[in-house]
Structure 1
Amino acid sequence: MTGGTKKDDSLGRYSFPLFVPATRPERFAKAAASGADTIIIDLEDAVGAADKEAARSGLSDGMVGLSGASVWIRINGVSTPWHKGDLEALNGLPIQGVMVPKAEGADMLSAIRSTLPDHVALIALVETAAGIHKATEIAAHSDRMAFGSVDYALDMNCASTREAFLFARSALALAARVSGQLAPLDGVTTKTDDPDLVAADAEHALALGFGGKMLIHPRQLDPAKRAFAPSEADIIWARKVVDSTKDGTAVAVDGEMIDAPVLERARGILERQGVAS
């Protein structure tokens, strides 16, 4: 089980990683300076088959001098002809994480883990029925999970709706919690010109116990972060609760009895206070 490791601190309890195509190294620095806590340089879906090797070979030059954000690489899946080369290309790169697509079990993740330096986190992108079925196993062999909603809908032949994704999202959140892992990251919102939809999707993810959301455009960053940040009314209530129970005794605040679970909820709200900054 990986929960509670030092990697958790580097991953961040709340995270909003921004994808950038590996074929566009000139965008790496811009993405890192966008305000995203993490950028995901994508060797998989964003790169066509004819460009895989060129994208891989250009990683090192494109990452020179990057600052302002952690860097993850999304590699190609284990069933592809590019997987082994991707892993070999990671050697010596200044990265903090590797995202594994189509994560479906312990054997796959353990094999990849054995090739990585200790400080590099393993992020399991769960995007198939088999992956959701083995969510607890995946959580125990990774540092964080993320929900690949687009590919999950394709695999399940289901609608891309909150109702259709409810079981999968809940399974990931539950598996992460049981394993002592950081809360999972939600999948992308494919519309880049609808901030209200991004915010609504992020609010839904937060309500289900997620710890952030993956993004595909810098303009999605602010609405996603604001959705995870508590309201001013919530902050005022949380401060009142925490200030009223410093000695650990149960008290009533605004007619509400404050016991340990309520106190922890208040502390959680205050932890989210800086998310939108």
Structure 2
Amino acid sequence: MPEGPPPPVGRPPLTWLYVPGDRPEVVAKALGSGADVVIVDLEDAVAPDRKEYARSATAELLGDQVTAAPDAVPVHVRVHGEDDIRALAELPGLTAFRLPKITHAVSVHHVAAVAPGVALYPLLESALAIEHAYSIASAHHAVRGIALGEADLRADLGVREDAGLDWPRSRVVVAARAAALPPPAQSVFPDVRDLDGLWTSCGRGRALGMLGRAAIHPRQLPVIERAFRPTAEEIEAAEEIVAASAVEAGALALPDGRFVDAAVVASARRTIALAGRA
């Protein structure tokens, strides 16, 4: 049975590509797309009469030793129900389960008991889930991250504009941080042709503290990657902070007047890691 992976070291994942579980040829292409994580979707992307086939095809994929290799692209599965969890939990190619429509911590505990050792990513898709964000994020040591399901959340809240999601996005960022989890990735941007809109939306998410984004088409991946990678100026500033902290311990002021303490140094180290330089 796969053990839940340790917290990520070095460069965090930025791109998470969803693919329908009932289209194994598309899944195979996704694994070569350059996405940091591939999410095989057994829920919304699969019609009811295709659910069993999708589960069977995904089981075949996760049983392949190539998928299970240490250097393989991590594969998450967004499950439809407990039958999926029981069928896939022990397969070597599984990296994590993504749990849709979680509203209470007790649901996380149940999945963790059914699939011990598997990393879990609860998806918060309703007002009730947002209210319980921290209790879900801290429910069990198997939880390795949380994220929003923004399509369902928009419908639940009656929100049309992107700005209407600022508070829920901030809420999950704070909940994740309080639970010592990585910053949440943004939910998918539904228009695969509007790359300018994707860029703008990613900028808004990054400003709120989110890191990376789920995608539904490979053409979205380069935009997401660029949007969340630090700029050359940000990297230079971070390197200056880390270098100064190595010379003088404790709080200090840089020549340009910036104040630096332990929290600032930690943030600078995260920037360098994100740039792929750690």
TM-score interval (norm. to shorter): 0.7 to 0.9
Task: Name the residue aligned to 1:61.
Answer: 60
- SS of the aligned residue for 1:95 comes to coil
The 5-angstrom pairing of residues 255-270 of structure 1 reads 255-270=257-272
Task: Name the residue aligned to 1:125.
Answer: 123
1:132 Cα deviation after fit = 0.3
The 5-angstrom pairing of residues 49-88 of structure 1 reads 49-63=48-62, 64=64, 65-66=66-67, 68-76=72-80, 83-88=81-86
CA distance in 2, matches of 1:11, 1:95: 21
**Contact kept? 2:15, 2:37, Cα under 8 Å:** yes
CA distance in 1, matches of 2:53, 2:131: 35
1:32 Cα deviation after fit = 1.2
CA distance in 1, matches of 2:11, 2:275: 14
The 5-angstrom pairing of residues 205-224 of structure 1 reads 205-224=205-224
1:140 Cα deviation after fit = 0.7
Task: Name the residue aligned to 1:137.
Answer: 135
1:194 Cα deviation after fit = 2.3
Relative to structure 1, the CA distance from residue 251 to residue 114 in structure 2 (aligned partners, 3 Å threshold; closer, same or farther) is same
Relative to structure 1, the CA distance from residue 88 to residue 10 in structure 2 (aligned partners, 3 Å threshold; closer, same or farther) is farther
TM-score of the superposed pair, with normalisation by structure 1: 0.88
- SS of the aligned residue for 2:147 comes to strand
**Contact kept? 1:43, 1:74, Cα under 8 Å:** yes
- SS of the aligned residue for 1:19 comes to strand
- Cα RMSD (Å): 2.1
Which segments of structure 1 move beyond 6 Å, counting only runs of 4 or more?
none
1:212 Cα deviation after fit = 1.9
The 5-angstrom pairing of residues 105-124 of structure 1 reads 105-118=104-117, 120-124=118-122
CA distance in 2, matches of 1:227, 1:140: 29
CA distance in 1, matches of 2:128, 2:168: 11
TM-score of the superposed pair, with normalisation by structure 2: 0.87
Relative to structure 1, the CA distance from residue 95 to residue 257 in structure 2 (aligned partners, 3 Å threshold; closer, same or farther) is same
Letter of the 1:248 counterpart: A
- Per-residue CA distance 1:153-212 (angstroms, 9 max, x = gap): 1111221x2321011111101111111112112110011122222222222222211232
Relative to structure 1, the CA distance from residue 199 to residue 91 in structure 2 (aligned partners, 3 Å threshold; closer, same or farther) is same
1:6 Cα deviation after fit = 5.0
Letter of the 2:209 counterpart: G
Task: Name the residue aligned to 1:40.
Answer: 39
1:12 Cα deviation after fit = 6.9
Is 1:167 the counterpart of 2:171 in the alignment?
A: no
Structure 1 unpaired stretches of 5+? 77-82
Instruction: Give me the identity figure in percent.
Output: 32
